[in-house]
Amino acid sequence: WGSSYGGALAGLTACHDARLSAAVLAAPGLDLNVFLSAAKQIIRPGLRKALLSQRPACEALNQTAWNLATLRPVIPKESILLIEAVHDLFVDRRSLESLWQAWGQPDIWRLPHSHASKILSFGLTGRVLGWLAPRLEAGRKNTA
């Protein structure tokens, strides 16, 4: 279970390690559009311009495994939960939608939060644990 960059790492793990029982990706930094979105938020014009000049490199890297939508999970889609923060200024909504489509439309929760406020969402931890419990139990039984 990872959030932001940790969500991207959880996604990479789900694409390479079939031993996982489940993966939860909360507002994952799934491609380098996150970097470009962050650059747009920078107030200092010179720094913003320098970062945005990296757009061609980011777009090229988005065609590689740095973009989770170019990969496929090795665990069933029923074992994947995506959490979108619909007011997120860093994780591009279109990118998350393309990941959801590319991965066969696993469970997705679209929450009315920003990139950071989702972790403060009352009851979210319990809700995610409730989603995880049957998957982790099934995985425990399969390895016993």
Q: What residue has token string 């469970």?
A: 107
**For the segment 8-52, what is each residue's pLDDT rounded down to a tens digit?**
999 999 999 999 999 999 999 877 766 677 667 777 788 878 888
Instruction: Give tens-digit pLDDT for 77-119.
Output: 999 999 999 988 778 788 899 999 999 999 999 999 887 776 6
pLDDT at 55 over 70: yes
pTM given for the model: 0.82
Single out the residue of 105, 88, 9 nearest to residue 41, CA to CA: 88
More confident residue, 117 or 7: 7
pLDDT, position 73: 98
Measured CA to CA in angstroms, residue 74 lies from 36, 56, 102, 112 at distances of 29, 30, 13, 30
